[in-house]
Amino acid sequence: MQRGSGMGERRKGKVPVGALLALGLLAGCASTPAPEERNPDDPWEGFNRRVFAFNEVVDRYALKPVAQGYRTVTPEPVQTGVGNFFSNLGELRTLLNSLLQGKPGNAGIAGARFVINTTVGIGGLWDFATHMEITGREEDFGQTLGVWGVGEGPYLVLPLLGASTVRDTGALPADMYAYPTTYIEDDPTRIGLTALRIVDARAGLLDQESLIRGDRYSFIRDAYLQQRRFEVSDGEQGDDPFASDDFEFNDSDFDDADFAD
Cα 187-251-56 angle, rounded to 5 deg: 75
Are the beta carbons of 242 and 250 closer than 8 angstroms?
yes
Q: How many CA atoms lie within 13 A of 224 on its CB side?
A: 27
SS (H, E, C) the chain: CECCCCCCCCCCCCCCHHHHHHHHHHHHHHHCCCHHHCCCCCCCHHHHHHHHHHHHHHHHHHHHHHHHHHHHHCCHHHHHHHHHHHHHHHHHHHHHHHHHCCCHHHHHHHHHHHHHHHHCCCCCCCCHHHHCCCCCECCCHHHHHHHCCCCCCCEEEECCCEEEEHHHHHHHHHHHHCCHHHHCCCHHHHHHHHHHHHHHHHHCCCHHHHHCCCCHHHHHHHHHHHHHHHHHCCCCCCCCCCCCCCCCCCCHHHCCCCCCC
What are the beta bridge partners of residue 137?
Answer: 2
Identify the weakest region by mean pLDDT among 15-19, 134-138, 181-185, 214-218: 15-19
In this predicted model, what pLDDT tens digit does every residue of 232-241 receive, in sequence order?
998 775 554 5
Mean pLDDT of the chain: 83
In this predicted model, what pLDDT tens digit does every residue of 47-60 receive, in sequence order?
999 999 999 999 99
Q: Which phi-psi region, left, alpha or beta, contains residue 111 (left: φ > 0; alpha: ψ -120 to 50)?
A: alpha
Q: Across residues 180-196, what is the average pLDDT?
A: 96
Give yes or no for residue 35 having a pLDDT over 60: no
**Nearest of 142, 146, 174, 151 to residue 251 by alpha carbon:** 142
Spatial CB neighbours of 17, under 8 Å, sequence gap ≥ 6: none
In this predicted model, what pLDDT tens digit does every residue of 85-103 receive, in sequence order?
999 999 999 999 999 999 9
The amino acid present at 69, given as its one-letter code, is G
Task: State pTM to two decimals.
Answer: 0.77
Are the beta carbons of 258 and 251 closer than 8 angstroms?
yes
